[in-house]
Amino acid sequence: MKNVLYAIIVLVCIFISDACQKAVSYPAVPKIDFKSCQISDARDTLGNPIKDVEILLGFVDGDGDLFSSDTAFKSLILTFYNKVNGVFIQIPDSVLYSSPKVYLGYSSVMDRNGQNKTQKGTIKYDYSFYYPMPYDTVELELYLKDLAGNKSNTIKTPEIPLK
């Protein structure tokens, strides 16, 4: 009986010590980090050849206001660069196939209430380059912007060979 009572006391102490641990908090300014970049040959819906680029980014936002149900709010901001004679030169937004400002999907499940509003996860961004391709090698610069206007750190992808 003493052993059972001793085991119960130990378990209660473990549960209490776990419950008393301080919650991890993150800054309200979002932070991103580069995870990976995959390049593949594919075809568009008409059967034309394209180069698909899939980029994975890790993110954390301490106050949980990165995602919005308002599709006009663009959280992911990109700048495209083309390598010319060994130097990366910005590609004008007007020649890109889609906007360099991206709405990140939203679900009410993402709403953060209570003490811990932190949002943490992975963002997958896909972009297709169509033929005839005017670029040999590109690089993307990315950052996040939350609803409060906080801008995350800026990261660059490694060089992305397209030809």
Q: What is the pLDDT of residues 75-133, one digit of tens each?
A: 999 999 999 999 999 999 888 878 888 888 876 555 566 567 788 889 999 998 888 87
Confidence at residue 13, expressed as pLDDT on a 0 to 100 scale = 53
CB 90 within 8 A of CB 117: no
Domain boundaries, the chain: 25-161
- Would you state the pLDDT for residue 66? 86
CATH class of 25-161: mainly beta
Q: What angle do CA 43, 46, 48 make, to 5 degrees?
A: 45
Report which of residues 78 and 17 the model is more confident about.
78
**pLDDT (average), residues 16-24:** 57
Alpha helices in the chain (DSSP H): 2-19
Dihedral through CA 156, CA 157, CA 161, CA 162, nearest 10? Answer: -90
Q: What pLDDT shows up at residue 142?
A: 95
Mean pLDDT of 8-12: 54
